[in-house]
Amino acid sequence: MIKKHEEKPAASAHESAVKAAKIAFEKKATDIVILDMRGLTSLTDYFIICTAEADAHAKAIVDEIEMKMLPVEKPWHIEGYQNLKWVLMDYVDFVVHVFTRETRDYYNIERLWADAPVEKIESADE
């Protein structure tokens, strides 16, 4: 059986996911949602999905999340940083997806995980 790294209580995983989403909001990411993946997959507890206006904006969002989550949270793995169309930051308990608009529309992962409860982040105060 594969175990996730040092599992945290669900509230803590959710708090970390919300923190990452708020950091993305502060860097002007748009259409930010948190999908509750518990019960749907054993890969992670939450997906954070957001949109960047351009490649440079995606880089700024990813860099800010990585910097502000430290030292408490460090990504286990980052993919897509070289081309910046879809950057995936795997924190084990939550996964951040930063898309450019065209790439998000094309892959539409919200549709793939349509059974997941959705929490919208529309301000840094939520």
State how beta strands 46-52 and 77-79 pair. Answer: unpaired
Residues 6+ apart with CB under 8 A from 92: 4, 5, 6, 44, 76
Mean pLDDT computed over 12-31? 96
Cβ–Cβ under 8 Å, residues 55 and 84? yes
- Model pTM above 0.85: yes
The confidence score (pLDDT) of residue 2 equals 46
> Is the pLDDT assigned to residue 108 strictly greater than 70?
yes
Mean pLDDT computed over 40-46? 95
> Is the pLDDT assigned to residue 58 strictly greater than 50?
yes
Strands of the sheet containing 86-90, edge to edge, are 77-79, 86-90, 94-100, 46-52, 30-36, 118-121
The percentage of residues in the chain with a pLDDT greater than 70, rounded to a whole number, is 89
Cβ–Cβ under 8 Å, residues 18 and 10? no
User: Quick one: tokens of 30?
Assistant: 């748009």
Mean pLDDT computed over 57-66? 98
What domains can you pick out in the chain, each with its CATH number? Answer: 28-115 (3.30.460.10)
> Is the pLDDT assigned to residue 85 strictly greater than 50?
yes
pLDDT in tens, 87-101: 999 999 999 999 999
Mean pLDDT for the chain? Answer: 91
> What's the CA dihedral at 5, 7, 8, 10 to 10 degrees?
120
